């Protein structure tokens, strides 16, 4: 989608600190990190949200594979981490392009807000 923020990051029209990339997904550091490690994993193809995705197993599987790899590369796999997909207004989604938050590097409280 032309004016989507994360599509523009995929096209390198907006700067981001990219930490991993493959044919399907891109991972980059969140601009407002909520933990020492806070990375967003997105599908390169525009999809508005988890609710809108046509092939959830395929797309979320590819995102989970990248999240696992990035967590290991960031050194947080041993201590643990959290993966979150916010969906829609009540879910706290503010950017309309499906993304998975990978958070780690501190003890994360539960339940979330
Ligand atoms: P959500 O609230 O689940 O939609 O999460 C959107 C996330 O995108 C937030 O954590 C923002 O800090 C992050 N974000 C917004 N703009 C950028 C950007 N230009 N680069 C990296 N992360 C961003």
**pLDDT tens, position by position, 1-18:** 779 999 999 999 999 999
Q: How far is CA 75 from CA 16, 53, 107, in A?
A: 21, 30, 14
Dihedral, 42, 61, 33, 47 alpha carbons, nearest 10: 30
* pLDDT beyond 90 at 52: yes
The pTM of this model reads: 0.98
Is CATH 3.30.428.10 the right assignment for the domain spanning 5-104?
yes
Question: Which of 31, 96, 101 for a ligand 1 pocket mutation test, highest count of atoms within 8 Å of Cβ?
Answer: 31
Nearest-angstrom CA–CA distance, 31 and 107: 20
Q: Is residue 99 flagged as an active site residue? A: yes
Separation of 54 CA from ligand 1 center, angstroms?
23
């Amino acid at each position: 989608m032309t004016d989507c923020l994360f599509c523009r990051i995929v096209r390198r029209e907006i700067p981001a600190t990219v930490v991993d990339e493959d044919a399907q997904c891109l991972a980059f550091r969140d601009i407002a990190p909520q933990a020492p490690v806070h990375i967003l994993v997105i599908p390169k193809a525009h999809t508005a949200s988890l609710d809108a995705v046509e092939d959830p197993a395929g797309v979320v599987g590819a995102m989970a594979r990248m999240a696992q790899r990035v967590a290991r590369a960031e050194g947080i796999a041993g201590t643990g981490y959290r993966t979150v997909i916010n969906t829609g207004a009540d879910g706290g989604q503010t950017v309309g392009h499906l993304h998975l938050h990978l958070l780690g590097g501190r003890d994360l409280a539960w339940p979330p807000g």
